[in-house]
Amino acid sequence: MPTESLPKSLKTFHDIGFEEIEHTADCALHIFGNNLPELLTNAAIGMTSLIAFEPSSIPDDTERHVELEAMDAESLLVEWLSELAYWAETEMLIFHRFELYNVTPNHLQAVIHGGHASGLKKHIKAVTYHNLEVIETEKGLEVTVVFDI
Amino acid sequence: MISNHDFKQINKYLYEIPKTFRADMRVPARFYADPELLKAIQGDRSLEQLVNTATLPGIVKYALAMPDIHQGYGFPIGGVVATQLPDGIISPGGVGYDINCGVRLLATQMEKEEVTPYLDDLASALYANCPSGVGKGGHIKLQPGELDVLVEKGANWALKRGYATESDLEHTEENGCLEGADSGKVSDRAKIRGKNQVGTLGAGNHFIEIDTVDRIYDEPAAQQMGIFPSQITVQIHCGSRGFGHQICSDYVKRFQKAIHQYGITLPDRELVCAPLSSPEGKDYLAAMKAAANYAFANRQVLTYLIRRSFEQVLAGKVKNHHLYQIYDIAHNMAKIEEHEVDGRRIKVCVHRKGATRAFGPGSPVLPGIYRDIGQPVLVPGSMGTASWVLVGTKESMTQTFGSICHGAGRVMSRSKAKKIVRGTKLREELEKKGIHVRAGSMPGLAEEAPMAYKDVDRVIQVVHGAGIAKKVARLIPLAVIKG
């Protein structure tokens, strides 16, 4: 859920970039974006809010270059979030600033900025494809992502 | 939403959603419940998920769900699906990300009264010695290439390294090693995630728990297992850590492309699958087995660390503090087994997603000492509540491909549990009940509050009443260690 301490998600037609929704066993985010780069950015910020205790206190001293290929927008979203979950688990690296380039449903390039955390609030085991569908509405894009935790 | 008139009651504890309910169902869907659990099941989308699994190519008899069923992703948690070889499918999502998440039960010759004065020290020693929590690495340093050996040999690797006894392996499902594991089918990322996590508990609902035997229900079976009233036992609940999570992610991604090649259409992309006979299916099975072996080795190293903790605290104070293994079972796994379908024995791939193998008496794959009583089945309850030891029955072989439930089953989301329960207050309440708690995260503790789960005793009564398992012993907790 967005709070004062979070990196600001990009404001969308829905006023917020994402919201946490109820799921019996795991956790899920409903994510919004005016376009695909915004949707991906808000998804990343949303995931950071799940895993970091105080995203605002994480240093901004590390960057990574990311390039991903995928078969469609949904797979791209899973790949993108899985990338961030991987760095969080293996190096306690949390990212809070995302510059995305050349985004298509099959491709993205990004420079992501963040730093090392001393601990994580939640462990994301995986990003699932459960009922995953990027829905195009008159106002923009939305998607619900379920995480295995 | 699936309502009461969409299913029929077969008997007191069994319900069926007929194949006619949805055009894409290949078989009926069956689930075990009592009226109270049925209400809980209808509180989320688990039955819809169960119906989705009934559409999988090659599925035989029924899509099944145990009384602890709750909403997962793709498969419901508590789901069992058997697909016929050679062309039936295998689904990575039908195993889950935590491949071979499972439960191990260790026992001692000590009784509760002897250990009570040392429980707090034991809880502290276990918390200090058994790495737990998000992102925590283990104490085990693997040599270059050793992870490849570990994932192909499973608990045998631990035996060679001095972390196991021969007896531990004899009392583990598959002797702690699935044949056919191939580290060559595992990505570098999975190996990076796995290399520092051997002998770690992780977070979430994983735990180590010291219990005492509250009541015996089946004296001969209990005796055969070495279980007696007031006995001190220890449970471990964890799986294959980041290694297994990454393998599942890798193959769910790879299979997204493969399904088009095999002409498979699915109601949910997380159900993605490939024929067992396909290159994708074979590769996944070999990689899944590697993760299963990682989990066996992981629980084995934790066993070693638990033994050391008991030694540290109890040596010179209490006799007979040695821990021996009752059994170790998986509850997220796909296994090739032989079962009777339509009057003939055929090879099937049994997916158990949050369900436990529960083979009946006489099964040749059981260790000799358990062959006459049936396979021990270990079902942990929610934190602070009872856990159960059961045995599989002949009925489990005919009704459920030799499977029963894996736990109590959640009824409340983690976010809601955190809103209602404060971790510090919950810890105080548990301590008041005499349960010693060590936890890395108070919000994490709140997520696992007993009120977020079904009543495990009720769940067990359903599998016992349905005849698919037999109660042997009920355990109650004395100390809980969580990440």
Q: pLDDT per residue over B32-59, tens digit each?
A: 999 999 999 999 999 999 999 999 999 9
Interface test with B, best of A24, A66, A83 (most B CBs within 10 A): A24
The distance from CA A8 to its chain's CA centroid, rounded to whole angstroms, is 12
* pTM, entire model: 0.96
Does residue A5 lie within any of the structural domains? no
Q: Is A46 within a domain? A: yes
Q: Is residue A87, in this structure, part of any structural domain at all?
A: yes
Report yes or no on A54 lying in a domain.
yes
Provide the residue range defining the domain that includes B398.
Answer: 4-411+453-482
Nearest residue, CB atoms, A90 vs list B96, B192, B270: B192
Q: Residues A17-32: what's their mean pLDDT?
A: 88
pLDDT at residue A72, as a whole number? 97
pLDDT category of residue B254 using cuts at 50, 70 and 90: very high
Residue A123: closest C-alpha in chain B: B134
**Of residues B458 and A119, which shows the higher confidence score?**
B458
Are the Cβ atoms of B256 and A27 closer than 8 angstroms?
no
ipTM of the complex: 0.92
Query: Who among A20, A71, A148 is closest to B73 (CB)?
Result: A148
Angle between helices B188-195 and A73-91 (to 10 degrees): 30
Query: What pLDDT does A8 receive?
Result: 63
Select from B329, B379, B473 the least CA-distant residue to B66. B379
**What's the average model confidence in pLDDT over B444-448?**
89
Confidence (pLDDT) at A5 = 44
Q: What is the 3-state secondary structure (H, E, C) of chain B?
A: CCCHHHCEEEECCEEEECHHHCCCCCCCEEEECCHHHHHHHCCCCHHHHHHHHCCCCCECCCEEEEEEEEEEECEEEEEEEEEECCCCEECHHHCCCCCCCEEEEEEEEEEHHHHHHHHHHHHHHHHHHCCCCCCCCCCCCCCCCHHHHHHHHCHHHHHHCCCCCHHHHHCCHHHHCCCCCCHHHCCHHHHHHHHCCCCCCCCCCCEEEEEEEEEECCHHHHHHHCCCCCEEEEEEEECCHHHHHHHHHHHHHHHHHHHHHCCCCCCCHHHCCEECCCHHHHHHHHHHHHHHHHHHHHHHHHHHHHHHHHHHHHCCCCCCCCCEEEEEEECEEEEEEEEEECCEEEEEEEEEECCEECCCCCCCCCCHHHCCCCCEEEECCCCCCCEEEEEECHHHHHHCCCEECCCCCECCCHHHHHHHCCHHHHHHHHHHCCCEEEECCHHHHHHCCHHHECCHHHHHHHHHHCCCEEEEEEEEEEEEEEC
Residue A36 three-state SS: helix
Q: What is the DSSP letter of A121?
A: S
Average pLDDT for B14-24? 98
Flag whether A13 is in a domain.
no
Residue B429 inside a domain? The answer is: no
What does pLDDT average to over chain B?
96
pLDDT band at B443 (very low <50, low <70, confident <90, very high): confident
- The beta-carbon neighbor of A25 closest among B70, B202, B242 is B70
Residues of B in contact with A79 (CB under 8 A): 253
pLDDT, tens digit, for every residue of B296-313? 999 999 999 999 999 999
pLDDT at B348 over 50: yes
Nearest CA in chain B to A122: B134
Evaluate if residue A32 carries a pLDDT over 80.
Answer: yes
Helix (H) or strand (E) holding A31: strand A27-33
In chain A, the N- to C-terminal Cα span, in Å, equals 17
Across chain A, mean pLDDT equals 90
Do the domain assignments include residue B83? yes
CA-nearest residue to A129 within chain B is B270
The pLDDT value given to residue B413? 86
CA atoms within 13 A on the CB side of B192: 9
Q: Could you tell me the CATH number of the domain that includes residue B388?
A: 3.90.1860.10
Q: Do A24 and B70 touch (CB under 8 A)?
A: yes
Q: Annotated catalytic, B70?
A: no
pLDDT value for A20: 92
**Three-state SS at A129:** coil
d(CA B325, CA B329): 12
The answer to whether residue A11 sits within a structural domain is no
Per-residue pLDDT, averaged over B431-436, amounts to 95
Q: How confident is the model at residue A1, as a pLDDT?
A: 38
- Whether A26 has its CB under 8 Å from any CB of chain B: the answer is yes
Mean pLDDT, residues A101-115: 97
User: pLDDT at position B199, please?
Assistant: 97
Enumerate the residues of chain A whose CB falls inside 8 A of the CB of residue B419.
none
Mean pLDDT calculated for residue range B105-131: 97
pLDDT of A56 > 90? The answer is no
Does B177 have pLDDT greater than 90?
Answer: yes
Chain A interface mutation, best of B53, B248, B249, B273, highest count of A Cβ atoms under 10 Å: B249
- C-beta atoms of A128 and B93 within 8 A: yes
Closest-CA distance of chain A to residue B39, Å? 14
Examine residue B477 and state whether it is found in any structural domain, yes or no: yes
Residue B435 resides in a domain: no
Contact (CB<8Å) A121/B443: yes
**Nearest residue to B156 (alpha-carbon basis) of B365, B297, B290:** B297
Q: Is pLDDT at A59 greater than 50 in this prediction?
A: yes
Domain count, chain B: 1
pLDDT-derived band at B328, boundaries 50, 70, 90: very high
**Can you tell me the distance from the alpha carbon of B396 to that of B407, in angstroms, rounded to the nearest whole number?**
17
pLDDT reported for residue A4: 38
**Bigger pLDDT: B223 vs A5:** B223
Find the domain containing A102 and state its range: 18-148
Measured in whole angstroms, the distance separating CA A22 from the mean position of its chain's CA atoms is 18
**Distance (Å) of CA B195 to CA B59, B169, B294:** 36, 22, 10
pLDDT score for B291 = 98
* Band (B178; pLDDT cuts 50, 70, 90): very high
CATH number for A41: 3.55.10.10
* pLDDT value at residue A95: 96
3-state secondary structure at position A3: coil
Confidence check: pLDDT of A2 > 50:
no
Which band of pLDDT confidence, cut at 50, 70 and 90, is reported for residue A57? Answer: confident
Q: What is the pLDDT of residue A16?
A: 81
Q: Under a CB-based contact definition with an 8 Å cutoff, are residues A94 and A60 in contact? A: no
pLDDT on residue B134: 79
Residue A12 pLDDT: 64
The whole-angstrom distance between residue B273's C-alpha and the CA centroid of its chain comes to: 22
Give the one of A120, A125, A148 whose C-beta lies nearest to B135's C-beta: A120
Q: Which residue has the higher pLDDT, B364 or B418?
A: B364
Specify the number of domains making up chain A: 1
Nearest chain A CA: its distance from B483 CA (Å): 11
Decide: A113 and A87 in contact? Cβ < 8 Å: no
Does the pLDDT at position A3 exceed 60?
A: no
- Is a pLDDT exceeding 90 seen at residue B153? yes
pLDDT grade for B75, boundaries at 50, 70 and 90: very high
Is B448 among the domain residues? no
Q: Which of residues 30-69 of A touch B (CB under 8 A)?
A: none
